[in-house]
Structures are given as structure tokens and as C-alpha cells.
């Protein structure tokens, strides 16, 4: 199942190079332009854009999200193998993990282990914006800086 | 090397449960409160917060970033094993990969393969905000929705 194909509406222009893929998904306030047929829901979802397949990502799945005021995700879910990170970048809401409720706002970052039973909602009067990232649990190896290789040439612009 | 320890200034209060860890990193405009001793730079860096060690993440490293107007990252870098994703959430700037320059703004998402030689700058007159995620190349397995397990009970708030 290719999520790039499931994201209907307009296609997203893609720029590719040997070592990169780039898209411009547009402003977060305009995320409703993307329509997604989520397999757990009978109607299309608006305001959630999965970008893995658009970008050829192979270490993570990522979604960009706008959840309108007063809306709650209508189910909880767990994962089989993937850790999830929720980064809230605007608005206010709540997330619950195994029944424990946490208030979230810009700058709230929540790691959820695969077995955490999670759901979230926008219980405020303005839109909630967030990014969700999933990666395979225990897949990252070594130290952050050890993985980096400094360039040999000065930066040119 | 523990990046939570390298992030000096104040410690970040952490909330933990069996299946989650949560922090409130504060507003992106306040990211200069965090000081980081980056091994490639002789002075501390402000406005870059790595959150992996704060959150006990094990599938990804993630940084929250504010780059002031007119500032360029003073080096290029590659990676040994990790794919990187840059998500721009505010402001305007440029990223270059292997010398190819791309304009970026809110909603720009750029995957860079480990071997891509990358650098970026804020060539605008206001701050640039972005999130950088790295995960081990080719570590994600299976389909996005196949990894999810629907909850057995209705959501309660």
C-alpha cells in the first residue's frame, strides 16, 4: 500500500537528487488540502499528510497534522514494532497513553513505546498542529555525533 | 556521550510512564535557552535542542532548532549510517545537498541520504525554525498501517 497514492487531491511536486528528495507540503494551516483514506476509518481524513512515500524515506514514517478545534481521534492504537514520537508545534490539546492524560502545547514532545495504548484530542478552541514520527524500536545505533562526518571543503553559497 | 548532559542551562522536567516519556521543551522562539557544546564547534551552540536522551528514544535522534536571521551553518556534513529528514516549520532559508541549493520555508521537507554532503543557512531577515530527524538507513520494515494495532476499548477522556 503506497501512501503517496492514498493521498489524493493534488500530487505534490518532488525534487530529487542523487542523495536527496524534497517536497514543499505547504503551510501547516493548509494541510486540509490533503485527503487520506485511513484504513481504520470509513470516511476520508483531512489534515494528515504522510510523507514517507513522497520522500523515499526508509528509516521513518512521518505525518504532518492539523487537528481542528474540538476534534478527538476516535480510537486508541498501539504498534507492533515501531516507536512513535509526537512533537506539538502549535495550539493546545491532550494526549493519553495507557489512560494517563497529558496536556500538550507548542514544544511538547512525547515518546510512546510500541505497547503504549494512545489517543489524542484537540479540546481547545483553535487548531492543533503536530508532527508524528515512527521508527523501528531499538534501530538507532551508536552516538549521535559519531555518525556525522565533517565535510572536507568549506561551505560555498 | 549523553546529549541530555551536554544540554546545559536548566534541566528539562520529564514525565515518565511505563510506555512513554514526555517533555515540554517550551516555545520554539525560546530555544536559545538551551546551550549545546557541539564537538565540531569551539563555542557553545544556542537554539538547537537534541531530545533523544531526554525522551529515551531508541529509534531516532531529533533536534528542535531556531537559526537566527543571517546565520549559516559553518560546515557541511555527511553521515555514516543515518538518513536525515529536515522539516521546516517557520521562516525562510536555503539548504544545499552535494552543492544543489533548495529554497526552504514552512512545509519544506527534505530527505538526505547518509552520503549527501549538506549544509543550510538562514538568508532571510527573520528566524528560521526546523526539526531534524535521523534514523538508521533502511531500518523501517513493512507497511505503515500494518504496524498499527487498533485499541480494543472505546476512547475515554
Contact yes or no for B73 and A28 at CB 8 A: no
Answer whether residue B144 is part of any domain.
Answer: no
Please compute the mean of the pLDDT values over residues A148-157 and round it to a whole number. 94
Ordered per-residue pLDDT tens for chain B, 157 residues: 455 555 555 579 999 999 999 999 999 999 999 988 877 778 888 999 999 999 999 999 999 999 999 999 999 999 999 999 999 999 999 999 999 999 999 999 999 999 999 999 999 999 999 999 999 999 999 878 889 999 999 999 9
Write the CB contacts of B153 (distance below 8 Å, at least 6 apart in sequence).
A76
Alpha-carbon gap, residue A84 to B94, rounded angstroms: 29
- Does the residue A101 lie in any domain? yes
- Give dist(CA A155, CA A4) in Å, integer: 34
Residues A123-138: what's their mean pLDDT? 98
Question: Does the pLDDT at position A58 exceed 80?
Answer: yes
Q: What share of chain A is helix, strand, coil (3-state, %, to 5)?
A: 10, 45, 45
Average pLDDT for residues A47-76, to the nearest whole number? 96
CB of B38 closer than 8 Å to CB of A150? no
Domains held by chain A: number: 1
Phi then psi dihedrals of residue A32, to 5 deg: -65, -10
With beta carbons under 8 A apart, name residues in chain B contacting A85: 55, 57, 60, 62
pLDDT, residue B144, reads 80
> For the residues A24-37, what does the mean pLDDT come to?
93
Residue A1 has pLDDT above 50, yes or no: no
Q: Do A89 and B28 touch (CB under 8 A)?
A: yes
For the segment A7-21, what is each residue's pLDDT rounded down to a tens digit?
Answer: 555 579 999 999 999
Residue among A111, A40, A102 at smallest CA distance from B62: A111
3-state secondary structure A34-103: CEECCCCCCCCEECEEECHHHHCCCCCEEEEEEECCCCECCCCEEECCEEEEEEEEECEEEEEECCEEEE
Residue B38 domain flag:
yes
Q: Looking at residue B1, what is its pLDDT?
A: 47
CATH number assigned to the domain comprising residue B57: 2.60.120.10
| pLDDT number for residue B4 | 56
Per CB-CB distance under 8 Å, the chain B contacts of A99 are 156
Q: Is the pLDDT of residue A40 over 80?
A: no
* Cβ of residue A100 closer than 8 Å to a chain B Cβ: yes
Tell me the average pLDDT across A52-56. Answer: 94
Residue A77 has pLDDT above 80, yes or no: yes
Task: Considering only the beta carbons, identify the residue of B55, B138, B147 that sits closest to A58.
Answer: B138
Q: B89 lies in which domain range?
A: 3-138
Q: How far apart are CA B114 and CA A43, in angstroms?
A: 38
Q: Is residue A51 part of a domain?
A: yes
Q: Is the pTM of this model over 0.90?
A: yes
- A150 in a structural domain: no
Q: Measured between alpha carbons, how far is A58 from B131 in angstroms, rounded to an integer?
A: 18
In a domain, A143, yes or no: no
**Measured distance CA(B14)–CA(B21) in Å, rounded:** 7
Q: What is the pLDDT of residue A6?
A: 56
Amino acid at each position: 500500500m503506497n501512501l503517496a497514492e492514498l493521498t489524493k487531491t493534488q500530487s505534490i511536486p518532488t525534487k530529487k537528487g542523487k542523495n536527496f528528495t524534497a517536497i514543499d507540503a505547504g503551510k501547516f494551516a493548509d494541510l486540509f488540502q490533503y485527503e487520506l483514506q485511513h484504513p481504520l476509518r470509513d470516511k476520508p481524513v483531512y489534515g494528515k499528510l504522510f510523507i514517507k512515500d513522497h520522500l523515499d524515506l526508509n528509516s521513518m514514517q512521518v505525518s504532518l497534522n492539523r487537528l481542528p478545534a474540538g476534534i478527538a481521534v476516535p480510537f486508541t492504537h498501539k504498534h507492533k514494532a515501531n516507536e512513535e514520537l509526537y512533537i506539538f508545534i502549535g495550539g493546545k490539546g491532550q494526549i493519553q497513553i495507557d489512560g494517563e492524560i497529558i496536556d500538550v502545547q507548542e514544544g511538547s514532545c512525547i515518546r510512546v513505546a510500541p505497547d503504549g495504548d494512545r489517543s489524542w484530542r484537540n479540546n481547545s478552541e483553535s487548531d492543533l498542529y503536530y508532527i508524528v514520527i515512527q521508527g523501528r524500536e531499538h534501530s538507532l545505533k551508536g552516538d549521535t555525533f559519531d555518525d556525522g562526518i565533517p565535510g572536507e571543503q568549506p561551505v560555498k553559497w
